[in-house]
């Protein structure tokens, strides 16, 4: 089982093509744009997310529902009638 690593600890190696492709897809930018941003702000993912304006807190919906009594029941409600 893999341990989750916080975004503040992730460093992107600009010489590793697979890593750059993965994180470029995650940040929704081109690989050359990611490499240019790494030169500007450094390889730390948290800094790159802030640079691209994607530094909002990531909320996993299932975890939020699990922690909120009001949201746990929200998943059962629907504006659409159930199909038989």
Residue 53: band (very low, low, confident or very high) from pLDDT cuts 50, 70, 90: confident
- 4's tokens: 């989750």
User: Is 67 inside a domain boundary?
Assistant: yes
At 60 the pLDDT is 63
The answer to whether the pTM exceeds 0.85 is: no
Identify the pLDDT of residue 61: 67
Q: How many domains is the chain built from?
A: 1
Structure tokens at 52: 């691209």
Q: Assess whether pLDDT exceeds 80 at residue 14.
A: yes
Asked if the structure places residue 31 within a domain, the reply is yes
Say how many Å lie between the first and final Cα of the chain, rounded: 40
* Rounded alpha-carbon distances, angstroms, from residue 25 to 21, 55, 81: 6, 16, 37
User: For residue 42, what pLDDT band results from cuts at 50, 70 and 90?
Assistant: very high
Residue range(s) defining the domain that contains residue 22: 7-72
């Amino acid at each position: 089982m893999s341990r989750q690593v916080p975004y503040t600890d992730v460093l992107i190696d600009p010489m590793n093509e697979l890593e750059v492709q993965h994180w470029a897809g995650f940040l929704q930018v081109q690989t050359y744009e990611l490499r240019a941003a790494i030169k500007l702000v450094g390889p730390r993912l948290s800094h790159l997310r802030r640079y691209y304006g994607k530094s909002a807190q990531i909320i996993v919906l299932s975890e939020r529902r699990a922690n909120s009594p009001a949201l746990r029941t929200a998943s059962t409600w629907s504006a659409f009638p159930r199909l038989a």
